[in-house]
Amino acid sequence: MKISLSIVVCMVAMLLTGCTPLLLTPADFSWPIEVALKPDAKGTVQESRYKVSFNVKALLFDELQDSVSVTKHTLHLLRDQAGYYFMTAKGFKHVYVFGQGDGALRLEKKILISEKGLEAPAFNQKVPFVHLINENNEHGVPVVLSKDGIIEGGKK
């Protein structure tokens, strides 16, 4: 039985067309304002407006080497236009950038902001970037962030 080359090419083209994912663009995943979340005794934070919850014990241990006194920390969280989560808290030296994993948040980048630790961090959405404002920041200039780190020119 002979199959012509054109039939094989058509079959392969149909197969490849069926595998192409459907993309709906543009999409904006950003939150208009940050949320401040207080962990419960088990280390879980929940935000009902955006339907997100996760455990922060590993994050607190990574940053502060303490995963026991979780309820004394308030995490500041903002989601950017591309869907990345930016997190920090008072006393943190870093901003953590997380992407979505399979039922988890996956660390994408750990951005050093201050060796002394942040005094009063707050995030603002300035599409396509995230601005981090810290109470004791030099001249009140925000640190401009992307999922890849600090944007030059926007550094303290």
What would the pLDDT profile of 90-132 be if each residue is shown by its tens digit?
999 999 999 999 999 999 999 999 999 999 999 999 888 999 9
Name the percent of the chain in helix, strand, coil, to the closest 5.
Answer: 20, 35, 45
User: Within the chain, how many helices (H) and strands (E) appear?
Assistant: 2, 11
pTM of the entire predicted model: 0.82
Task: Report phi then psi at 128, rounded to 5.
Answer: -95, 10
Domain range annotation of the chain: 28-150
The yes-or-no verdict on residue 156 having pLDDT over 80 is no
Instruction: Check residue 141 and report its DSSP letter.
Output: P
- Indicate if the alpha-carbon torsion angle 106, 103, 91, 77 is positive or negative: positive
- Which pLDDT score is estimated for 20? 76
The yes-or-no verdict on residue 63 having pLDDT over 70 is yes
- Which pLDDT score is estimated for 62? 96
How far is residue 22's CA from residue 117's CA, in Å, rounded to a whole number? 43
The yes-or-no verdict on residue 140 having pLDDT over 70 is no
Lowest mean pLDDT among 10-14, 134-138, 143-147: 10-14
What are 18's two structure tokens?
């069926």
- Which pLDDT score is estimated for 152? 74
| 41 in Cβ contact with 71 (< 8 Å) | yes
The yes-or-no verdict on residue 151 having pLDDT over 90 is yes
What are 60's two structure tokens?
């607190």
- Which pLDDT score is estimated for 73? 93
The yes-or-no verdict on residue 3 having pLDDT over 90 is no
